[in-house]
Structure 1
Amino acid sequence: MQGGELRISPVGSKQALDDFIDLPYRLYADDPNWVPPLRADVAELLNPEKNPFYGHAEGQLFLARRAGRVVGRISAHIDKLALAQPVEQGMGPGTGNWGMLDAEDEATAKALIATAEDWLKSRGMTRVLGPLSLSVWDEPGVLVKGFDHPPTVMMGHAKTEYHQWIESSGYQTVQELFTYALVIDRDFPELTNRIVAIGEKNDRIKIRRVDKRKFNDEAALILGILNDAWSDNWGFVPLTEAEIAYVGKKLKPIVYEDLIRIAEVDGEPVAFMMTLPDINEKIKSFGGKLFPFNWAKLLWWLRKPQVRTMRVPLMGVVKKLQASRMASQLAFMMIEYIRRDAITKFGASRGEFGWVLGSNGPMRSVGEAVGGTVNKVYRIYEKTL
């Protein structure tokens, strides 16, 4: 598609892919709150031979150029597993996605969005849900609140104008995602502490650390609980066995036994909480590059990270317990136990909980009950094609 000097073309060469990956490093160069992702990680995300997402999805990357200069990018993709989900859960038949939108100006952004829509329509899609970069498990939504501080590990950032450009392209809000910031180097509210104390007297409950010596088994157990716990959530798409193995391999370097808990009731694993040290605090100055010297700095840091912030990206309780008091009790117990270790062993003073769906009242209540306040909001939009 061409408009004036603007030309948009599909990414079809290694040079074009490099240009696609490199663009944000230029656009955000002066943004003190942007954390440059490691280029190797972005390249792997977009590589169909390495990312198992492409085992059930197809996609196309697009670049916008003006007078030969790259001025924007976007991805368009169709997830076959998402197409098979119930319509009432947000995905469903005919729903395609776009994501990874970056642009110098509104005209470029709108042209890129229109190009992604055309690609989706040409493949029979009748509705678009976005931004998703690439799946709901990666970086869903565009930032609409919380531009004044950097994102934590595995969370996205955006320019303040992006959500306005999306809305002016005819999109309506379909879901918001919240993250909660909380101070963790002081005791949680008394009500939470009482609930934890009661749970500690219950012989049916056992809260244990993960065993990294059995990493593959523990990862499969946790993600199995996740698939069950989140299966009724808006936007849910099940993780495949290949994705579970892939996620486990990617997370292993920043997984620490003291920061992940599995809850058992009557000997059955029924809940988990995963906490990650905010690696963004370390890599922010790397400029997206590990070589020649940053890899050594990172490896040394990973031996025993000392961080200000811990992030809880994943937490789940099996469906059969979700309507019970036990579910909240298990959640508070895992949060409290991890809080103690995060302070004493990793030097943390701050936590971030989320993202949490705006429609997930119980989990939002947990975030508020431990003293959390919303510090970032991401928005997902929909449009009929």
Structure 2
Amino acid sequence: MASSLTIRPVLTKRDRKAFVDLPFRLYADDPHWIPPLKGEAIGLITPEKNGWFSHATAQLFLGEQGGRVVGRISAHIDTLALTMPAEQGFGPGCGQWGLMEAESEDIFAVLIATAEEWLREQGMKRVLGPISMSVWEEPGLLIDGFDHAPTVMMGHAKPEYRGWIEAAGYAPVKQLFTYELDITKPFPPIVNRIIQSGEKNPRIVVRRVDKSKFEQEAAIILSILNDAWSGNWGFVPLTPPEIADVGVKLKPIVFNDLIRIAELDGRPVAFMITLPDLNEAIKPLNGSLFPFGWARLLWWLRAPQVRTVRVPLMGVIKELQASRMASQLAFMLIEYIRRAAVENYGAVRGEIGWILDDNQGMRSIAETIQCDINKTYQIYEKTL
């Protein structure tokens, strides 16, 4: 019973290990859950290993019952998010919770109440969740699309969590979609004509990134990203410490032909990042690189062959977003990377997203190239 439940803060390395270990038991029978590499999962919640903590603070909680860990949750405050306009989702007095897992609704209710109380003590008046832990990591609760595994850097959840969250007084505030498509098929004729027109335009150059100049290329992409996304709901600018950490994590799966930058009159104005689905490689490792996981993963990284590639980020600078040029650049980026993904990595499936439900520009592009929504994630809000 919940009456015998103990909630305590995560304080030690052992506590963090227990926090990371819990989902391995709760999802043991779920064929679509992807066990994260435990080292990466511990790094996410360790301030010294996650650049997000340079502008954020968090408290993790464990629920224990009968000598077992039966639930977990994080409560956190992003100081950059507090400076954003409230109409864009965050804003003054807005905290978050995430990384929630629980054996039962009773346990969940106590965990979320504990997270809410911690946020109130920090002066928060409103809460959004689940956000685990930065909006750039795994925002939202999966509410549709449980029948297949998530791609790299996307979340999974139990179907019952939705009812538990709503029963705790939370209302939906935003949906995020991922779109999938068969990338072995050419795009519709109208899209190809738009691409061909762009190829004839001497002002446009779409180039591969140069991984040997990783920091310089990352700076270009970051500049475009922070401009292109600045008006989006939930936007919080990425900071240099976060970029440095992301670079370390993603550099092994960065390939020159899967990341492109579009230049107009020699100026970088758009980009698209595509990643081979690392989840296909790590799923059999069950969270551990030992004793043979290192060798398997390193072998895979040498020349990955995957079924799926994912587009986690793309953007066009704000001054072009209302123009025809924006969609033309997007179609060119998608087509060039589609070809590379099929020819060089054996991919047959692409996934684009997440895309905000009110991002009509990106949703229109996805629908024009005949994508279908395959997963829906939902973010909730509550007044504290």
Within the alignment, does 1:189 sit opposite 2:188 as a pair? Answer: yes
The residue aligned with 1:278 is: 277
Q: What TM-score does the superposition give when structure 1 sets the normalisation length? A: 0.99
CA distance in 1 between partners of 2:12 and 2:247 (Å): 30
In structure 2, what is the equivalent of residue 234 of structure 1?
233
Aligned to 1:347: 346
| Structure 2: distance between partners of 1:303 and 1:254 | 9
**CA deviation after TM superposition for structure 1 residue 3, in Å:** 4.6
Distance in 1, Cα, partners of 2:295 & 2:52: 30
Equivalent residue, structure 1, for 2:9: 10
Q: Match for residue 316 of structure 2? A: 317
- Residue of structure 1 in register with 2:169 after alignment: 170
Per the alignment, in what secondary structure is the counterpart of residue 47 of structure 2?
coil
- Residue 337 of structure 2 aligns with which residue? 338
Q: Superposition RMSD on alpha carbons, in Å?
A: 0.9
What's the counterpart of residue 252 of structure 2? 253
Residue of structure 2 in register with 1:158 after alignment: 157
Residues 220 and 245, structure 1, Cα contact 8 Å, conserved in 2 = no
**Conserved 8 A contact 1:144-1:160:** yes
Q: Does 1:57 align with 2:56?
A: yes
**Distance across 2 between alignment mates of 1:315 and 1:236:** 14
Residue in 2 aligned with 1:379? Answer: 378
Q: Measure the CA separation in 2 of the matches of 1:55 and 1:254.
A: 25
Quick check: 1:215 aligned with 2:214? Answer: yes
| Contact 1:310/1:342, CA 8 A, preserved across alignment | yes
Tell me the secondary structure at the aligned position of residue 98 of structure 2: strand
In the other structure, the counterpart of 1:79 is 78
Deviation at 1:233, TM superposition (A): 0.3
SS in 1 for 2:337: helix
Structure 2 residue 328 is the aligned partner of structure 1 residue 329: yes
1:108 aligns with 2:130: no
Gaps spanning 5+ residues in structure 2: where?
A: none
SS at match of 2:332: helix
| Residue of structure 2 equivalent to 1:26 | 25
In structure 1, give the amino acid aligned to 2:195: V
1:83-126 Cα shifts (integer Å, max 9, x gaps): 00011100000000000000001111111111100000011000
The reply to whether residue 88 of structure 1 matches residue 78 of structure 2 is no
* DSSP-derived class of the 1:383 partner: strand
Calculate percent identity across the aligned residue pairs: 65
1:189: Cα distance to partner? 1.2
Per the normalisation by structure 2, the TM-score is 0.99
In structure 2, give the amino acid aligned to 1:382. E
- Distance in 2 of aligned mates of 1:3 and 1:353: 41
Distance 1:195 1:285 in 2: 42
- The CA deviation string for residues 30-57 of structure 1, in whole angstroms up to 9 with x for no partner, is 0000000000001111110111111111
| Structure 1, unpaired ranges of 5+ | none
Map of 1:303 onto structure 2: 302
Aligned-pair CA distance for 1:230: 0.4
Conserved in 2, the CA contact under 8 Å of 1:179 and 1:353? yes
Which whole-Å deviations, capped at 9, do the CAs of 1:9-48 have from their partners, x for residues lacking one?
Answer: 1111222211111000000000000000000001111110
For these two proteins, the number of residue pairs brought into alignment is 384
Aligned partners of 2:2 and 2:107 also within 8 Å: no
- Hey, what's the Cα distance between the residues in 1 that align with 2:32 and 2:200? 44
| Residues 94 and 126 in structure 1, CA contact (< 8 A), matched pair in contact too | yes
Q: For 1:135-154, what aligned pairs fall within 5 Å after superposition?
A: 135-154=134-153
Conserved 8 A contact 1:9-1:63: yes
8 Å CA contact retained: 2:51, 2:244: no
Q: What CA distance in whole angstroms lies between the structure 1 residues aligned with 2:252 and 2:65?
A: 41
Tell whether 2:267 aligns with 1:263.
Answer: no
Paired letter, 1:343: V
Q: Hey, what's the Cα distance between the residues in 2 that align with 1:245 and 1:101?
A: 27
Q: Secondary structure at the match of 1:49?
A: helix
TM superposition shift of 1:359? 1.0
SS of the residue corresponding to residue 4 of structure 1 reads helix
Q: For 1:292 and 1:60, how far apart are their aligned partners in 2? A: 33
